[in-house]
Structure 1
Amino acid sequence: MTVIWDHKAAEKATGGKASGPWEATGVSIDTRTITPGDLFVALKGPNHDGHAYLETARDKGAAAAIISDSDKAPEGLPVLTVTNTMGAMIDLAAAARTRMSGKVIAITGSVGKTGTKEGLALAFAALGKTHATLGNLNNEIGLPLTMDRIPADTDYSVLEMGMNHPGEIQPLSDLARPDVAIITTVQPVHLEFFEGIQGIADAKAEIFSGLNKGGYAILPRDHPLFHHMRERALEAGVAEDRIIGFGTHPDAHVRLLKCDAIPTGSRATAVMDGETRVYEIGMPGEHWAINSLAILAAVRYLGGDLDKAVEALKDWRPGKGRGCRHQISLPQGGSFTLIDESYNASPPAMRAAFDVLAHVKPHPGGRRVAILGDMLELGDSAPSLHAALASSIEENSIDMVFTAGPNMAHLNKVLERGRKANHAADSAALIGPVVSYIGAGDVVLVKGSLGMRMAAIVNALNALDKKGARDAV
């Protein structure tokens, strides 16, 4: 395995003092997931102190640990003593960025950033050695940790940046110093922390803060606030000819002309640099076809091979709880299709999921069923935003809707009588009615914010399959 840090490089980066020589092949802040050879960083937080787990780290094969309390160093584990362990982790991240000769692609957005990050990682991995954010380690702790893990010989690093308050993305961008900064979209999520959607756009535009000179800003051209975000990019020093729009808009630099649903995902017809391309992605829905344009724009403007990137996107698949599909055999015979969108939810993501559901044809006698939990962090607009989903449900010919949570009660109230099934206070109370209702041939969507624990319903539906749920294509 590649050595990422040794005691000399870590001392130089952090100003700390090593107790002796060591070499680390990874970096960890959690002994539950630590692997042999990792450098363990003993972070101190309001509820936990990593110093309490140093012996566990040693016993699990850690190569060394970064500590601030020297008297807590356990026997047999080399340590690097610093003033502040979080500060040291940031110092390592800055050093990792400086020694890296490859390119950094940063991504944020209200919807689709994690899925698009995975697509970016696939596309760039076809072009060279690529390192990417694991899962959604995209905050003030996750991003430095991700950067600490970047090998020096990395060609491309794809870094996701998240936020739910103003001022959170700027320090992440300043640390990452990206060559490309992508905003997938700006939508009314986390509204309880902002005065309006323009405030959210400003917070997302903080990603331009650290953009390297000559870097590219890739923005959603269809968005009503495109010009507002463009101004933020210009103010941050991005050259006008390096602000790239993607979407269906006639003025988009990378433009989607058509998206067709296919059994393995979507087929996109797009124009870039005057050339029309037809390609397939393993993600279902026009919203993912549009996000694929941002991926191809990043490849194109960093000088990468578009043909290789396009081929790689055939293997782009939804992650767990983010749209993956399962075919589930029922004990009484027959099967149904489950679309698992239980990880998160927002108004635009709900509508996109309804569109995907509309394009999946039930088997004879089957129905399109949506099982929906509250969308959280919408502030005072929550009741109206939930009720407004009714029109999209009707437009997409969804046959039956189960709802959970106090805000989804507003949707349940306005739905047509023939479309609404049970409403419950929480996901757990909805499991029984849902399991009793689902039948052979159905196509079932489960979606809600993570805090609504809609995964419990997904698990209950998967448990119906004694043969084991299978990925559906």
Structure 2
Amino acid sequence: MSQPHFTVADILAVTGGRTGLGGDTPINAISIDSRELGPDALFVAIKGDRFDGHDFVEQALKDGAVAALVTEGRGDGAGRIIVPDALEGLRDIARAARERSRAVIVGVTGSVGKTTTKEALRVVFEAAGSTHASIKSFNNHWGVPLMLARLPVSAQFGVFEMGMSAPEEIRPLTRLVRPHIAVITTIAPAHLEALGSLDAIARAKSEIFSGLEPGGTTILNADHGQLDVLLEEARAAGVGRVVTYGEARGVDWQIVNIESLPESSVATVEHEGQRYELLLNVPGRHMVANAVGALAASHAAGVEPAVALRALAGFGAQPGRGARTRLGPSGRPLLLIDESYNANTASMTAALDVFARQEAPGGRKIIVLGDMRELGTQSAELHRSLAPAVLAAGADRVYLVGPQMQALAEALGQGRVAAHTQTAGEMAEIVVADLAYGDAVMIKGSNGVGLAGVVEQIRNRFERA
């Protein structure tokens, strides 16, 4: 019989909680969503922005959770483990999972490419050994401890994504994760509203160094203007080893040429006198950069480049981050490119550059762009700056969503925008009515704009060939 992930006794020991449950009760899954409970699940009742998990404790227990971790004063009864604070209890469990682990742990942050790089690392590590990685974009104050609490004792590799929208948000996350390797993908205009400048963004991302294990390694993309800030912060934090990558000269892993094809990418990478051919099942310079970041990080973790390159050859874009789907008849499909999860000027320009090389299967090229959020006083200027990339993309129709996109509409000029709506819901009806089989459509904007709903409606309409 296999060892349980935790027992109730283990949970009591690390949280200081109390319960009427037997100490040998196994805990083999940990969840904060009462709708997603694995076998022998512990439901953790945390209070979020929209929901309070304590309202769902009874339902979770009815649906099969063996226990619920609840905050003192928020109800008692059968099946509950009562602690001073449920979220802090989750962090206690995460610390315990990390403490017992012998895995090589990688932490990933950056303005753009965090999730893609994390997924590329997951693919590489899975080819080399037992791997645990964050799911979706669980990278915040509850997502990171939840992912860490699930870290199996048998894992050989662990990959954790860390995000932020303000200073001092990454520091507590990285001190939980305690990575051996810290990756910063790039620095770009994101969360300017809270941080004010690119240098301030770089310093906030550099908080990841404060949790780095002694003698640890940082992997830094060099293709941005804040590399010196990151190097300064790495020195101040006493980082043991710094490895750089990108197209810049003199980096440790240098991308010397890239061929971005409509459906794939080919690149040559040089490292310590060796040349490697990188093949990816996804187009775009930015995707090559993310893959080379994963190549460098996995090498630092002890994975041979040949193993990593074989794994990366099958790597594709993730939903909301460039995933490409052909809908309808094979001879004349609708090509849907889903970039709906996030947007800042760097990711927008990269996606538009890829779309410029994309031909429609047999119809028109259509772009739907939503607001780039949290850009503060520079928002109008940064939205206007997208105009050359939009024009170069060669779209037959351009649709814009959100109030911030007014600046881009003005920069593009009269007659260049097919429609501009304030909400994604309004745009969904317009775009679905306009699209036809044979078209290629790319949809990109900040997650809060809700363009994922437009993607879903397009899929619902055009999947029925």
Asked if 2 retains the 8 angstrom alpha-carbon contact of 1:13 and 1:95, the reply is yes
Query: Which residue in the other structure is 1:224 paired with?
Result: 225
Q: Does 1:385 align with 2:382?
A: yes
Which AA in structure 1 matches 2:160?
Answer: L
Change (3 A) 1:35 1:70: farther
What is the aligned partner in structure 2 of residue 312 from structure 1?
311
- What is the TM-score with the length of structure 2 in the denominator? 0.94
Aligned pair 1:243/2:205, yes or no? Answer: no
Contact 1:55 1:74 in 2 (8 A): no
- Structure 1 length normalisation: TM-score? 0.92
Provide Cα deviations, 1:252-276, integer angstroms capped at 9, x if missing partner.
1011112223454212211122111
Amino acid in the other structure paired with 1:308: V
Q: Is the 8 A contact 2:42 2:65 kept in 1?
A: yes
Deviation at 1:395, TM superposition (A): 2.8
Which residue in 1 is equivalent to 2:207?
206
Name the count of aligned residue pairs.
462
- Compared CA separation, residues 97 and 387, structure 1 to 2 (3 A): same
Q: CA deviation at 1:125?
A: 1.0
Do the aligned residues in 1 keep the contact of 2:186 with 2:223 (CA within 8 Å)? no
The farther-off stretch of 210-219 and 433-442 is 433-442
Tell me what 1:132 maps to: 133
Q: How far is 1:52 from its partner?
A: 3.4
2:373 is the alignment partner of 1:376: yes
Please state how far the C-alpha of 1:70 moved relative to its aligned partner. 7.5
Q: Which residue of 1 aligns with 2:58?
A: 55
More displaced 10-residue stretch of structure 1: 345-354 or 412-421: 412-421
Query: How many angstroms does 1:327 deviate by?
Result: 1.6
Q: Give the distance between the partners of 2:63 and 2:343, measured in 1 at CA.
A: 37
Cα pair distance change 1:49/1:327, threshold 3 Å: closer
- Determine helix, strand or coil for the equivalent of 2:355: helix
Contact kept, 8 Å, 1:25 with 1:38, in 2: the verdict is yes
Aligned pairs for 1:303-452 within 5 A? 303-329=302-328, 334-363=332-361, 366-417=363-414, 419-452=416-449
Question: Residue type of the partner of 1:305?
Answer: E
Equivalence for 1:471: none
- Amino acid aligned to 1:453: G
CA distance in 1: counterparts of 2:249 and 2:7, whole angstroms: 52
Aligned equivalents of 2:323 and 2:5: distance in 1?
34
1:231: how far off?
A: 0.7
- 1:118-267 correspondence runs (5 A): 118-239=119-240, 242-262=241-261, 264-267=263-266
Deviation at 1:82, TM superposition (A): 2.2
Identity within the alignment, %: 37
Q: Which moved more, 1:333-342 or 1:281-290?
A: 333-342
Q: Deviations over 1:90-120 (max 9, x none)?
A: 1111111110011110000111101111111
Structure 1 letter corresponding to 2:349: R
> What amino acid is aligned across from residue 24 of structure 1 in structure 2?
I
The equivalent of 2:91 in structure 1 is: 90
* Contact residue 10 and residue 92 of structure 1 kept, 8 A: yes
Q: Does 1:282 align with 2:285?
A: no
The letter for the 2-side match of 1:33 is E
State the shift of 1:140 in Å: 0.9
Letter in 1 for 2:39: P
Answer whether contact 1:399 1:419 (CA < 8 A) is retained. Answer: no
**CA distance in 2: counterparts of 1:161 and 1:356, whole angstroms:** 27
Amino acid at match of 1:338: L
Q: Deviations for 1:263-294, whole angstroms, at most 9, x for unmatched residues?
A: 54212211122111112122321101011111
Q: Is the 8 A contact 1:209 1:236 kept in 2?
A: yes
Aligned to 1:113: 114
Q: Deviations over 1:335-391 (max 9, x none)?
A: 331111112211111111101111212245x33221111111111111111111111
Other-structure match for 1:9: 10
Q: Which amino acid aligns with 1:224?
A: G
Matched with 2:77 is: 74
**Stretch of structure 1 that moved more, 444-453 or 56-65:** 56-65
> Which ranges of structure 1 fall in alignment gaps of 5 or more residues?
469-473
**Is 2:332–2:438's contact at 8 Å kept on the other side of the alignment?**
yes
